[in-house]
Chains A and B, each alone.
Chain A
Amino acid sequence: MNNFKLWCAKLLGMPPLASSNGQDVDDLIIYVHWLMLALFIGWIIYFFYALHRFRASRNPKADYVGVRNHASSVVELAVVVVEAVLLIFIAVPLWAKAVDKFPDAKDSTVIQIVAQQFAWNARYAGPDGKFGAQDMKRVSSTNIFGVDPSDPNGADDIQVLNEIHVPVGKPVIMYVSSKDVIHSLKIIAMRVCQDAIPGLRIPCWFTPTKIGRYQINCAQLCGSGHAGMTGGFLTVESQADFDKWLNSKTKKKIQSAE
């Protein structure tokens, strides 16, 4: 079964997949394409057969009534049923899973992301696992996360530009926002896509399964640099590597503060 799925994905030319939740996305795409293919082939065969059989030179006199049965209603009904099944049993539950069943923040890597023209800012809670207090009112060009500098929880928070690291096999929760125009955070291999909308902070999550370095795409027209907003990368690494990375960043921050 899995091999078959892989084969389908390959046939459709889908890019490599590196998250567990992404399997749902790929599965649904594949199912729908089977439906499309069946309809297309069925109709196209009928279509050419009808054109051939009823061309004027072969069938000079048309039949006033034409088709007398209601076979087409069966086809239509079949489309309805298949679409309904896909919708009710697959699409809606999957989306519910994607937006309602968030993993527990304690077991996940939590990141805040603020997009800007034309880069990605990310903020981690640091070793204490707690973000410093934030307030939209504090948002400014130098404080795009609206951090309250007096909150001790924020002392070890770290902020990075474009280089986002996460440990493998652990869910990642991202709070996505933007400071200027609408961008869209799309990590193709993770099958996540979330518009980054100024004034809103929208959570989304995924669970990376493969170590590697992945491109982050901006999927929403955001100005003349939209095509060049390619500096963002997601690095999926082992927990140990991730901790090391996080520590080095924290240290750097504390050092520079002293």
Chain B
Amino acid sequence: MDATVHQFPPYRKPDGHHAHDEHVHEHHDPGYWAKFIFSTDHKIIGIQYGFTALCFLLFGLFLMLMMRWQIAHPGTPVPIMGPVLEKLLGQVAAKGVISPELYNSFGAMHGTIMVFLGIVPLAFAAFGNYVVPLMIGAVDMAFPRVNMASYQAYFLGGLVMFVSFFIPGGAAQAGWTSYSPLATTIPTHGQLFWIIGMILLISSSLMGAINFIATIIQLRAPGMTWMRLPWFVWAQFVTAFLLLLAFPPLEAAAILQLMDNVAHTSFFLPTGLAVGGQLANVSGGGSPLLWQHLFWFLGHPEVYVLILPAMGIVCEIIANNTRKPIWGYKSLVYSVLTIGFLSFIVWAHHMYMTGMGTKISAFFQATTMIISIPSVIILTCFFISLWGGSIRFNTPMLFALAFLPMFGIGGLTGLPLGFNVSDVHLHDTYYIIAHFHYVVAPGTIFGLFAGIYYWFPKMTGRKMNEFWGRVHFWCSLIFMNLVFMPMFAQGMAGMLRRMSDGGANYSAAVNARSGAEVIGGLSDNIMALHVWILWAAVALGIAQIPFIVNLFWSIKHGEKVGDNPWNSTTLEWQTPTPPPHGNFIHTPTVYRGPYEYSVPGHATDFTPQNEPPAGSPVLQTATHAH
């Protein structure tokens, strides 16, 4: 075997075009379209995914701001954007005021866009595409063309969703959960677009999931055994399985709802349905609960799809910036597998109020409690990992560290929801909105920010600006909490979600006007929080400007760095920056686990996975070769 294969580092900084020489036969310039739009290179596809997903996140943020205005000041025109909305959307935004219909559209689409077009494509597809093949030492994804098709389906799905805002009647209005019969009986076509968009997005995720799993199973570099995989790869592996197995039932449900919509079947419409004072002209015999079961069978695994990749990112960054191995790697692996398995049998905790019997309820309460244990173990491992470290507080690490208590708050507040009896009071209140936003916004989004700051140098060869990174971090942290913390109080006080007027009609003030004294209206203090939340949300939006500017500015002007600026051990840092087509100059060989930091007796405080063990014959040949 040729000795250079085992050279360490496997690649020398290309002076001139060294790196290219070996692959010269492939280097006919593919041209702009082939290179950037119809690329099959996992890195380009990852960046495409990432950029598109960030745009959708921004769009979701915009929808949210419109909603928060309406909640805080119901019935008043939205400043600045009001006339624009009216111009674009017409009657539903007459006089610049967001009508209840439009509010419902925005709410449903905020949820849909954030989940299916923002976080999943960014956390799973973008990071997974860019980082996973590099981390396992693969040349590309197992099926590059399927990979491209996956992005295109995603893009198309996003387009369908986006276009639906501008059709007569606007986008879907039945919440991101799209419960039938409401979803079927709203007379506009938004729901149809939603279903078609979802079918495209599901197909995209399925292709992605198959690709990821096959890549991780088949294309690991020599020596990259399962227990040497960086935990991020494990998280993506489990996530891919969740998408693979949980999405198809939703696809089935979407097909059934599509049939209800266009072929006038009654899968989700029971006998005797009378909408708008008229008996619905359907055969009946369907079941609204069937939709809920199929939806939440996806819905719950989906929430772990949202969190696991972020946890994986956080794990990498914590190991790197504490300069020591992650504590309890094995428990992390078993925990994530357990979560993956259990997440298929907890779905009905979203349906506690549908009249559940004791046995079924006991089962789902038990599984819900059990699934919180692996999360606790994962978080505990991260916490313990801090002990004895030498902690560097750079921007990625700040975001990763903030993830821990933020996810902690979100996760802990999931516990009272997990019990049927206590959920009676909390169901469909802002307590739930706060619960899951703590896990997905200051949780997942922070994890993703951390990942962007962390891997940016690999993608571009430059670091993002550290100062503005910190500004972005502290402002986001503060305003996120100012937005979501008050929602716990509101929810506990009984404020319901999906209220186009922010519950104004349920407020004590309105009740007082009805004459007889009414007990239990929302107090003025609770209602006043709306205004605070609105401005905190606006500030949160503004706090993203430094990030956006930083991101684009640093591509050209960021501080130039080497191939491994964070002194990291994992394989993605042992390639040229940015990695060429095919990723590695020589196939790396892996000799050890992913987090060998501060190994006693080692010259540096990091030992890359592919560094041959000291004294091995390979290393000697390599030295000879120089």
Chain A positions near chain B (C-beta within 8 angstroms): 12-16, 18, 24-26, 28-29, 32-33, 35-36, 39-40, 43-44, 46-47, 50-51, 54-56, 59-67, 72, 75-76, 79-80, 83-84, 86-87, 90-92, 94-96, 98-100, 116-117, 136-137, 139-141, 144, 146, 179-182, 184, 186, 188-189, 191-195, 197-200, 202-204, 210, 212-215, 217-228, 230, 233
Number of interface residues of B (CB under 8 A): 106
Q: A13-B493, A40-B409, A227-B505 are in contact. List 17 more A-B contacts (CB 8 A).
A: A25-B425, A32-B415, A35-B415, A44-B405, A56-B391, A62-B323, A64-B600, A96-B362, A99-B356, A117-B276, A181-B275, A193-B425, A193-B428, A198-B273, A200-B355, A202-B355, A226-B100
A95 to B369, CA, bound (A): 15
Instruction: Report the stretch among B37-45, B180-188, B443-451, B544-552 that lies at the interface.
Output: B180-188
Chain A binding surface SS class:
mixed
A50 to B153, CA, bound (A): 46
Known contacts A40-B409, A59-B390, A79-B373; decide if A199 and B506 are in contact (CB<8 Å): no
- Nearest A residue to B284, CB-CB: A199
- Nearest B residue to A86, CB-CB: B419
Cβ-based interface call for B503 (8 A): yes
Chain B residues whose C-beta falls within 8 Å of the C-beta of A75 in the assembled complex: 380
A181 to B274, CA, bound (A): 9
Closest CB of chain B to A111's CB: distance in Å?
A: 16
A86 to B599, CA, bound (A): 44
Q: Are B428 and A198 closer than 8 Å at their CB atoms? A: no
A140 to B420, CA, bound (A): 34
Chain B residues whose C-beta falls within 8 Å of the C-beta of A222 in the assembled complex: 182
Cβ-based interface call for B598 (8 A): yes
Q: Are B520 and A215 closer than 8 Å at their CB atoms? A: yes
Chain B residues whose C-beta falls within 8 Å of the C-beta of A43 in the assembled complex: 379, 383, 405, 408
Chain B residues whose C-beta falls within 8 Å of the C-beta of A15 in the assembled complex: 493-494, 520
Known contacts A215-B518, A221-B179; decide if A25 and B386 are in contact (CB<8 Å): no
Q: Are B421 and A24 closer than 8 Å at their CB atoms? A: yes
For B427, give its contact among A35, A193, A223 (CB under 8 Å). Answer: A193
Cβ-based interface call for B521 (8 A): yes
Interface string of B367-392 (1 = CB under 8 A from A): 00100110011011101111111111
Q: Are B519 and A204 closer than 8 Å at their CB atoms? A: no
Q: Are B421 and A67 closer than 8 Å at their CB atoms? A: no
A77 to B498, CA, bound (A): 38
Chain A residues whose C-beta falls within 8 Å of the C-beta of B424 in the assembled complex: 25, 191-193
Q: Are A223 and B186 closer than 8 Å at their CB atoms? A: yes
Chain B residues whose C-beta falls within 8 Å of the C-beta of A63 in the assembled complex: 324, 388-389, 598
Q: Are A179 and B274 closer than 8 Å at their CB atoms? A: yes
A197 to B290, CA, bound (A): 12
Q: Are A180 and B274 closer than 8 Å at their CB atoms? A: yes
Chain A residues whose C-beta falls within 8 Å of the C-beta of B504 in the assembled complex: 227
A76 to B376, CA, bound (A): 7
Cβ-based interface call for B517 (8 A): yes
- Nearest B residue to A224, CB-CB: B100
Known contacts A15-B520, A188-B520, A227-B503; decide if A66 and B384 are in contact (CB<8 Å): yes
A51 to B357, CA, bound (A): 47
For A204, give its contact among B279, B286, B355, B369 (CB under 8 Å). Answer: B355
For B182, give its contact among A12, A46, A99, A221 (CB under 8 Å). Answer: A221
- Nearest B residue to A48, CB-CB: B405
Cβ-based interface call for B361 (8 A): yes
For A198, give its contact among B288, B356, B511 (CB under 8 Å). Answer: B288
Q: Are B362 and A95 closer than 8 Å at their CB atoms? A: yes
Known contacts A80-B373, A199-B288; decide if A14 and B492 are in contact (CB<8 Å): yes
Known contacts A76-B380, A227-B501; decide if A54 and B389 are in contact (CB<8 Å): yes
Q: Are B387 and A66 closer than 8 Å at their CB atoms? A: yes
Closest CB of chain B to A11's CB: distance in Å?
A: 10
- Nearest B residue to A211, CB-CB: B519
Q: Are B496 and A214 closer than 8 Å at their CB atoms? A: no
Q: Are A180 and B279 closer than 8 Å at their CB atoms? A: no
Q: List 17 A-B contacts (CB under 8 A).
A: A12-B492, A15-B493, A36-B415, A43-B408, A50-B383, A54-B322, A54-B389, A55-B391, A63-B389, A72-B381, A79-B376, A96-B358, A141-B277, A146-B272, A180-B275, A199-B272, A199-B284
Q: Are B101 and A224 closer than 8 Å at their CB atoms? A: yes
Q: Are B421 and A221 closer than 8 Å at their CB atoms? A: no
User: Which of B124-153 touch A at CB < 8 Å?
Assistant: none
Cβ-based interface call for B175 (8 A): yes
Known contacts A54-B387, A181-B185; decide if A40 and B516 are in contact (CB<8 Å): no
- Nearest A residue to B599, CB-CB: A64
Q: Are B412 and A221 closer than 8 Å at their CB atoms? A: no
Known contacts A56-B392, A66-B385, A80-B373; decide if A213 and B518 are in contact (CB<8 Å): yes
For B505, give its contact among A54, A96, A230 (CB under 8 Å). Answer: A230
Q: Which of B323, B420, B425 is most buried by chain A, counting CB atoms within 10 A of its CB?
A: B425
- Nearest B residue to A189, CB-CB: B520
A61 to B598, CA, bound (A): 8
Q: Are B181 and A87 closer than 8 Å at their CB atoms? A: no
A180 to B270, CA, bound (A): 10
Cβ-based interface call for B341 (8 A): no
For A64, give its contact among B324, B373, B387 (CB under 8 Å). Answer: B324
Cβ-based interface call for B271 (8 A): yes
A43 to B100, CA, bound (A): 42
User: Which of B336-371 touch A at CB < 8 Å?
Assistant: 353-358, 361-362, 365-366, 369
The 7 closest A-B pairs by CB, nearest first: A199-B270, A202-B355, A63-B388, A139-B272, A66-B388, A62-B323, A62-B390
Cβ-based interface call for B287 (8 A): yes
Known contacts A92-B362, A188-B494; decide if A47 and B181 are in contact (CB<8 Å): no
Q: Are A62 and B416 closer than 8 Å at their CB atoms? A: no
